[in-house]
Structure 1
Amino acid sequence: MRKPKFRRQEWHRYKKLGENWRKARGKLSKARRYQARKPAIPTIGYCSPRATKGLHPSGYQDVLVCNLKELENLDPATQAGRIGSTVGLRKREAMLKKAKDLGIKILN
């Protein structure tokens, strides 16, 4: 089952509100009181399964790597690497080549 899009109360009425979710806090708010035919409110029941929680959409565990030694420690079956933003071009190219040899997926 897919999660509904949680949008701010009366987002369609006023352009300045935007669509981003904000909790309804009004005293007589129908959405806050879970009245029928009102948009869905984020609750704990919509959480994702524990098996997939924290995983990248590709299904791999996302691991930040900054050098070749960290890259070699990854498990290609369950983990994928994300090269740090401070890594330079020369080292990045070497890491990409090494990842290809080891069969490790790089996410960026």
Structure 2
Amino acid sequence: MSLHTITASIHPPDGYQLPESGGTHISLTTPHSSSGSGSNQIPKMPWIVTLTVDGEIATKGEEFSLKVQINGPTPVFLDTPHTFIWNGGDQEVDVNLTLAPVPKTETTQPLTFGS
């Protein structure tokens, strides 16, 4: 087995303050596999994550996708997919998060007055 390390440095948007409490989830998807892990703590920034790739299964030049979520008191604060091409060995990747759009959980109806 030929294991390689991908070190991802995850950065929030400039000026963004992370919540005091919450959790995280990160997942890595390759053409051959996917895996993920989570935590119930907010990480210190930059958030450094180490992932392992089996070089006997993955092929140099394949596109990998890294998805990161940071959750706080409201559903999702940060959520971003980040794709990169694997160089076939150990690799460092910088991931700059963007703010996720707030999902619409309710539809609003216009106010009407009178009868």
TM class by smaller structure: under 0.3
Q: TM-score, normalised by structure 2?
A: 0.21
Larger radius of gyration: 1
Higher relative contact order (CA 8 A, sep 6+): 2
The answer to which structure has the higher helix fraction is 1
